Amino acid sequence: MKKISSSSPTKGSATRAPRRLIRQLVHDLHGYVPGEQPKIKGLIKLNTNENPYPPAPGVLAAVRAATDGRLRLYPNPTAQPLREKLAKLHGCAPENILVGNGSDELLALATRAFAEPVPPIQAGGRAEASACTVQFFAPGYSLYPVLAAIHGSRTNVVSLDAEFGLPPLAVLKKSRAWDFRAALTYVTTPNAPSGRGYTRAELDALCAAHRGVIILDEAYVDFAAEDALPLALKYPHVLVARTFSKAYSLCFQRVGYFVGHPDLIAALNKLRDSYNVNGLGQVAALATLDDLPYYRANFRRIIATRERLTSALTEAGFAVRPSQTNFILARPPGLPAGEWLEKLRARKILVRWFPNSPVSEYLRITIGTDAEADTLLRAVRAILKSPV
């Protein structure tokens, strides 16, 4: 232990210039850019895949009932009651489940737990490339490269096929572009931003060929034909990520979870903050699981609206990708996507556009209510009538 000398000189403020106190990695970082959250009256918000329907009445009542003097107390540190209830739902043990502050937190923990940072050259460190590799398909969830960059790992990005399908296993093996030994691989399934769904069988084949950890990010799976949750219980290196945000109308509360092998879950558990899931979020998620039929009815409504909107936009000249999510990816006719974004915005309709991406010709449109879909269609027809 060092002794403190009272005569130690105070350094000049120049050496403490804030910019010089920041690590180079952080200087170089391009942070994640979330979709806009404007609070403009009358705005139709179809840009961040939120559910247009409110949480079940029982969820709102449970949150209200918990909003009292107990807010001064810490919540359950491991979200134990929620893990128990989720375990029952998925036919596994609480040890297979880790709850996070949204699934985003869990994706970040996984990067830290499974991938090595690339060692600095000046340290002379050499690490096997695969051990430092975070891998994913493109296009995919745009948070993955940011998480790898924050951790200082390298990324390996391989394109999906022209229809946003997974390249066949034989092709991946032959091309050598894909690293079956990568420390961590993310697969967005169904895919975002395309909406394309994948079968459990093709995901099973991909997982079986892998040596490193695979995360099947099922943020939108409740709107899809198939899920791959059993793979998290079949393979020790597979984690499935789920969220209460999208299908369960709970973005505001930030609750997501991983299902996977107890050894992986225990490792991740060591890295998380002690009270990572806020108390009201736990209350809301527990009450959500008491009312699954309410949510399943909403999934059906959203899917019906999605199909109707797909047909109507296709008729209007849009190239709409088949979707198994609560959004569609649509290439608008006539004008570039960025101009469509502005024209819709002028009519108080907010959608998402990803410039500088493989889908820059498209708009991603969240499925809202039927009334919102009708307003969108009216706006689209008006823009087509007078495009300038």
Ligand X SMILES: Cc1ncc(COP(=O)(O)O)c(C=O)c1O
Interface with ligand X (CB under 6 A) = 49, 102-104, 141, 188, 192, 217, 219, 243, 245, 251, 256
Cβ 40 to ligand X shortest distance, Å:
21
**Is 166 or 383 the residue whose CB approaches ligand X more closely?**
166
The CB-of-35 to ligand X minimum distance in angstroms stands at: 8
For residue 379, the minimal CB distance to ligand X (Å) is 24
Q: Report in angstroms how near the CB of residue 62 gets to ligand X at its nearest.
A: 20
Please give the backbone phi and psi of residue 236, each rounded to the nearest 5 degrees, phi first: -70, -15
Distance CA 280, CA 85 (A): 16
Minimum distance, C-beta of residue 253 to ligand X, in the bound complex (Å): 9
- The nearest distance, CB 242 to ligand X, in angstroms, is 8
Q: Which is nearer to ligand X, 78 or 243 (CB)?
A: 243
- CB closer to ligand X, 133 vs 249: 249
Token code pair at residue 282: 């736990």
Minimum separation from the CB atom of position 285 to ligand X (A): 11
Q: Tokens standing for 340?
A: 């469509």
CB 246 within 8 A of CB 288: no
Structure tokens at 100: 């996070």
Rounded CA gap, 43 and 10, in Å? 54
Paired with 156 in beta bridges are 135
Tokens found for residue 56: 């079940």
Residue closer to ligand X (CB basis): 34 or 57? 34
- φ and ψ of 350, to 5 deg: -105, 120
The 10 Å CB-count burial string (b at 16+, else e) for 242-255 is bbbbbbbbbbebbb
Q: Which is nearer to ligand X, 133 or 194 (CB)?
A: 194
Nearer to ligand X, 118 or 187 (CB): 187
Report CA-CA distances (Å) from 63 to 59, 249, 285: 6, 14, 10
- Name the residue number minimizing CB distance to ligand X: 102
Q: Which of 186, 183, 195, 140 is nearest to 326 (CA)?
A: 195
Residue 15 sits at the vertex; the CA angle it makes with 10 and 19, to the nearest 5 degrees, is: 140
Closest distance of CB 247 from ligand X, Å: 11
Nearest CB to ligand X, comparing residues 114 and 248: 248
- What whole-number distance in Å separates Cα of residue 318 and Cα of residue 384? 11
Strands 327-331 and 256-259, how do they pair?
A: unpaired
Amino acid identity at 69? G
Taking the least distance from each CB to ligand X, the nearer of 251 and 379 is 251
